[in-house]
Amino acid sequence: MEKARKGKKTAASGELGKMDAYWRAANYLSVGQIYLHDNPLLREPLRMEHVKPVLLGHWGTTPGQNFIYVHLNRVIKKFDLDMIYICGPGHGGPAMVGNTYLEGTYSEVYPKISQDEEGLKRLFRQFSFPGGIPSHVSPECPGSIHEGGELGYSLSHAFGAAFDNPGLIVACVIGDGEAETGPLATSWHSNKFLNPATDGAVLPILHLNGYKIANPTIFARISRRELDQFFKGCGWKPYYVSGRNPEKMHRLMAAATEKAIRRIKSIQAKARAEKNVERPRWPMIVLKSPKGWTGPKIVDGFEIEGSFRAHQVPLQIDAQHPGHLRMLEDWLRSYRPEELFDERGTLVSDLAELAPKGNRRMGANPHANGGLLLHDLSLPDFRNYAISIPAPGAIEAADTHELGKFLRDVIMKNRERRNFRIFGPDETLSNRLNAVFEASDRQWMGSTRKNDEFLATDGRIMEMLSEHQCEGWLEGYLLTGRHGMFTSYEAFIHIVDSMFNQHAKWLKVTADIPWRKPISSLNYLLSSHVWQQAHNGFTHQDPGFLDLVANKKASIVRVYLPPDANCLLSVWDHCLRSKDYVNVVVAGKYLAPQWLSMDEAVDHCAKGIGIWRWASNDGGEEPDVVLACCGDVPTKEALAAVTIIREHLPEIKIRFVNVVDLMKLQPESEHPHGLNDAEFDATFHGYPSLIHRLTYRRTNHKNMHVRGYKEEGTITTTFDMVVRNDLDRFNLVRDIVKRLPPTKKGANLDGILRDKLVQHKCYIEEFGKDMPEILEWKWS
C-alpha cells in the first residue's frame, strides 16, 4: 500500500497555504450558492431575507470536490497538463460551478455573472432557482461533459474521452456510492482497453466520503486491505489520501496527485518509445475525507460533518429553527471571505494566479465542448456499395452485411485522424458487420492466444460485454468531438434505456446553449432484431426500445427502419453526417429480398415515407385499402399479402406505402400521401401501440389497423414468429378482406387462408422449418 507521505518535499508550504485559501474560496462560493439570495460577501450581518426561501442543493460531496479541483489545478500548472474534470457525483454542482467561476471561465461564457460583488450575487441567486441553473453539473456548466444526475457513468465517459486523445488526462471523480452501481463497477475494467501510446490517460479519484444519501457506502466499510486488493485486482495502482486535518490533507493530496501524474507520464513515455505496448498498471487516487467536510459539525444534536446527514442542505433556515441563521453565518465566515475577495468582490490576485491559464483551465478546455474539435468524417460514397436490383425482390442480400463494407471503408478513410470507433457488446460479427475486420481489429490490451481472432492493441472496434460500458465509452467519445456507433441486439439495447434518456436530455439542453457546439450524433444499429431471433427465443425478442426513443423530442431523435440494403446504406450515410441527434436504425442481418435501386432508395429515405407504385394498383386514384409497412420483415409480409390479393381479388385497389423514418408519422410533419380515408392496414416492426401513439391525431386514425409485435414469441421458425403476432401475409389478407364490403370471393379466400395457417402449423411441427411456398416466395 502506497501512502503519499512525502508531501513536504513535493509542495512548498507557502503554496499549500494559498491553495487552502483557494479551497476556502471555493467552499464559500458553494455554501453561498446553496443559501444566499443577497449579501453575498457578508458585508452586513446575515438576516433572514438574505437567505433563499427554498434551499436546494447537495453540500456533502462539494467540499471534497473543491479540494480535488484545487489540487488538479496545481498539477495542471506544474506539468502543463491538458486535463478535463468529470464529476461523477454531479449533484455536487456548486463545486464545479464555483471553481469555473474562480478560474474565470464562468464569467467568460456568462458575462452577467461577473467577477465582482454583483456577479457573485447573481451566481448565488441563479443556483437551483427558478429561471436559473440546475443543482447538478448540467450542460450549462462550462467544462462539464457529464451531468452526473444519474449516477454510474463517470468512468466510462472518462475513458471515452481519453480514447484517441494521447495528450489528454481525464480526471474522474467517482462517488463511493456511485461506485456501487453496475455500470460503474464494470467500468474499472476500462483499463484493459486503453492504449498508453495512442490514447490519453484517465485518473480515477474515488471520493471515499463514507456515505450516500442515507447509508454508509460499501467501500467505506471494508478494511483498507480489502479495498486495496479490490483495486489492485482490477489492475490499478491506488494512492491513498486519508484524513480530515486540512494542512495535512493538502500535503498528502499534493504528493499523491504528483505521483499519479508522474506515473502516467512514465507509462506513456515508455509505451511511446517502445513499439511493444503492454497493459500498464495505471494510477488512481482514493481520497478518504469526511462527507460535508468543513461544514456544520453538530446541528440540533445530530452529527453532520462526516455523516450521511451532510448529503444535502445541512441547516434548514426557517422560523422553526431560530438558531440556524447564526450557525449559517458562522459557517460562511469560517472561510474568512474578507481575506479571499477584494473590495470589488473579486478573488484576490494572489489566489487567482493559482488557476491555470486560458484553455488549460478545466472549465475552458475545448475537449469538454467537443463540437469545437469536431472534424466531419471523411465518408466514401455510399452509392458505390449499392446492390444492383434488376427488379424488385429479384435478388436477396443480408442488409447489415452490405453495410459492413461501407463501414469498413469509413474506418479506412478516417484511420489517420483516428476519430471513428465502433462500440458494441461482442456482437459486431453476430450482427454480420464482418467486413469491418478487414479494416481493423478489436481493441484489446489483455493477453492473447494463438487461436484468438481480430484482437490488437490498436483497434477501432470496442467490444466488452457490457452495454453500459459501450454506451458510456461512446458517449464520452462523442462528447469530446469524435464519431462512432453502437451495434447491439435489439432486445438488449434496453439495458441502456436510461443512459439513452440522459444523453437525449443532454442534447436537448445543449441545443439552447449557444457556446456549446454541435457534436456528432449518437448512432445505434439494432440488428438481430425481434423477427430474427427465432433461434434464441422469447428473451431475445423485444422491439420496445423504439417506444422509449419515441418519448423524446422529435427534434432530437430519429428512428429509421430501412426495408433493404440500399435504404440502409443511404440512411447510414445520413446518420454519420448528422449532428446532435440520436439515430436509431433497425436492420436485418439475414438474406432478404431487395426492393429498391440506389436512386429509388435515396429518394425514399429522403422523404422518409412513400408510395411504392410498383406494388400499388390504385393508379393514383382513391384506393380501397392502404397497406403501409415499416421494417424489413413487415415489408416482405405486406408485399406477400399484395401478391395474394392480386391473385384472388384483383379488383381491389391497393396503395402500398412504406415507412423508413418512423417519426414522419407524427402530425408535425407534412401529412404524408396515403393517410387518407381509405381502410388503412399497417404492419409494423415493433409494438403496434407505438404507431397508434404517433398517428392518433391524424384524421384517418379511426380507419387504421396496426399489426406488430404483440409479445408472442418463442423458439420457432422465422415465419411462425410473424404468424404468432398476426402480421403474416395470410392474416394480413384476412384482415383486409374483413374490413371491405363482404363478397363471396372474399369469404372463399378467407377460408383458403385459414387452411393455410393450419397447414403452416402442422408443417413446422412435423419438419421443423417453414413450408416451401414460404421459403421460396418471391415478389412477382
Ligand X SMILES: Cc1ncc(C[n+]2csc(CCOP(=O)(O)OP(=O)(O)O)c2C)c(N)n1
Binding site for ligand X (CB under 6 A): 60-61, 89, 91, 150-152, 175-178, 181, 207, 209, 211-213, 217, 291, 311
- In angstroms, give the least distance from the CB of 762 to ligand X: 51
Q: Determine phi and psi for 86, rounding to 5 degrees.
A: -110, 125
Q: Which window, 202-210, 236-244, 257-265, 509-517, contacts Mg ion (CB under 5 A)? A: 202-210
| Residue 746 partner contact from ligand X, Mg ion, none using kind-dependent CB cut-offs of 5 to 8 Å | none
| Residue 213 partner contact from Mg ion, ligand X, none using kind-dependent CB cut-offs of 5 to 8 Å | ligand X
Nearer Cβ to Mg ion (63/425): 63
Nearer Cβ to ligand X (205/722): 205
- In angstroms, give the least distance from the CB of 244 to ligand X: 15
Nearer Cβ to ligand X (210/235): 210
**Bridge partner residues of 283 (DSSP):** 237
Are the C-beta atoms of 760 and 719 separated by less than 8 Å? Answer: yes
Cα separation of 40 and 514, whole Å? 28
| Residue 151 partner contact from ligand X, Mg ion, none using kind-dependent CB cut-offs of 5 to 8 Å | ligand X
Nearer Cβ to Mg ion (290/296): 290
Cα separation of 288 and 502, whole Å? 29
CB atoms within 10 A of CB 118: 14
- In angstroms, give the least distance from the CB of 175 to ligand X: 2
Residue nearest to ligand X (CB): 175
| Residue 152 partner contact from ligand X, Mg ion, none using kind-dependent CB cut-offs of 5 to 8 Å | ligand X
Cα separation of 447 and 455, whole Å? 10
# residues contacting Mg ion (CB under 5 A)? 4
As a whole number of Å, the end-to-end CA separation of the chain is 74
Check residue 612 and report its DSSP letter: -
How far is CA 765 from its chain centroid? 44
Cα separation of 100 and 108, whole Å? 10
- In angstroms, give the least distance from the CB of 250 to ligand X: 20
* Positive or negative torsion for Cα 353, 354, 358, 364: negative
Q: Which window, 208-216, 433-441, 679-687, 706-714, contacts Mg ion (CB under 5 A)? A: 208-216
- In angstroms, give the least distance from the CB of 228 to Mg ion: 19
| Residue 165 partner contact from Mg ion, ligand X, none using kind-dependent CB cut-offs of 5 to 8 Å | none
For residue 331, the one-letter residue type is: W
Nearer Cβ to ligand X (217/616): 217
- In angstroms, give the least distance from the CB of 84 to ligand X: 19
| Residue 475 partner contact from Mg ion, ligand X, none using kind-dependent CB cut-offs of 5 to 8 Å | none
Nearer Cβ to Mg ion (63/177): 177
Cα separation of 624 and 122, whole Å? 65
Residues 6+ apart with CB under 8 A from 395: 387, 389, 593, 594
**Bridge partner residues of 593 (DSSP):** 396
- In angstroms, give the least distance from the CB of 692 to ligand X: 32
Nearer Cβ to Mg ion (209/488): 209
- In angstroms, give the least distance from the CB of 308 to ligand X: 8
Sheet holding 679-684, edge to edge: 609-611, 654-659, 625-630, 679-684, 704-707
- In angstroms, give the least distance from the CB of 61 to ligand X: 3
| Residue 683 partner contact from Mg ion, ligand X, none using kind-dependent CB cut-offs of 5 to 8 Å | none
Nearer Cβ to ligand X (291/734): 291
Cα separation of 736 and 656, whole Å? 13
Closest among 399, 553, 412, 550 to 487, alpha carbons compared: 399
Nearer Cβ to ligand X (151/690): 151
Cα separation of 637 and 658, whole Å? 12
| Residue 60 partner contact from ligand X, Mg ion, none using kind-dependent CB cut-offs of 5 to 8 Å | ligand X
- In angstroms, give the least distance from the CB of 183 to ligand X: 9
Outline where 192-307 has alpha helix (H): 224-233, 246-273
Nearer Cβ to Mg ion (242/359): 242
Residues 6+ apart with CB under 8 A from 363: 96, 99, 100, 103, 105, 106, 141, 142, 143
Cα separation of 49 and 46, whole Å? 8
- In angstroms, give the least distance from the CB of 23 to ligand X: 17
| Residue 91 partner contact from ligand X, Mg ion, none using kind-dependent CB cut-offs of 5 to 8 Å | ligand X
| Residue 178 partner contact from ligand X, Mg ion, none using kind-dependent CB cut-offs of 5 to 8 Å | ligand X
- In angstroms, give the least distance from the CB of 150 to ligand X: 5
CB atoms within 10 A of CB 746: 18
Contact between 209 and Mg ion (CB under 5 A)? yes
The helix or strand, by DSSP H or E, that contains position 751, with its residue range, turns out to be: helix 744-767
| Residue 391 partner contact from ligand X, Mg ion, none using kind-dependent CB cut-offs of 5 to 8 Å | none
Nearer Cβ to ligand X (175/472): 175
Nearer Cβ to Mg ion (177/686): 177
**Bridge partner residues of 527 (DSSP):** 489
Check residue 601 and report its DSSP letter: H
| Residue 305 partner contact from ligand X, Mg ion, none using kind-dependent CB cut-offs of 5 to 8 Å | none
CA angle 400, 402, 404 (to 5 degrees): 70
Nearer Cβ to ligand X (205/733): 205
- How much of the chain is in helix, strand and coil states, percent to nearest 5? 45, 15, 40
Strand 442-443 versus strand 609-611 pairing type: unpaired
Q: Of 449-488, which residues contact Mg ion (CB under 5 A)?
A: none
Nearer Cβ to ligand X (475/618): 475
Q: Of 577-636, which residues contact Mg ion (CB under 5 A)?
A: none
Cα separation of 251 and 242, whole Å? 11
- In angstroms, give the least distance from the CB of 478 to ligand X: 21
Nearer Cβ to ligand X (463/471): 471
For residue 286, the one-letter residue type is: V
Q: Of 723-742, which residues contact Mg ion (CB under 5 A)?
A: none
Are the C-beta atoms of 669 and 663 separated by less than 8 Å? Answer: yes
- In angstroms, give the least distance from the CB of 207 to ligand X: 5
Sheet holding 557-560, edge to edge: 455-456, 442-443, 461-463, 420-424, 483-489, 522-527, 582-586, 557-560
- In angstroms, give the least distance from the CB of 66 to ligand X: 12
- In angstroms, give the least distance from the CB of 210 to Mg ion: 6
- Per-residue HEC secondary structure of 534-600 comes to CCCCHHHCCCCHHHHHCCCCCCCEEEECCCCHHHHHHHHHHHHHCECCEEEEECCCCEEECCCCHHH
Are the C-beta atoms of 442 and 424 separated by less than 8 Å? Answer: no
Nearer Cβ to ligand X (27/114): 27
Q: Of 142-201, which residues contact Mg ion (CB under 5 A)?
A: 175-177
The residues that touch Mg ion, with contacts defined as CB under 5 A, are 175-177, 209
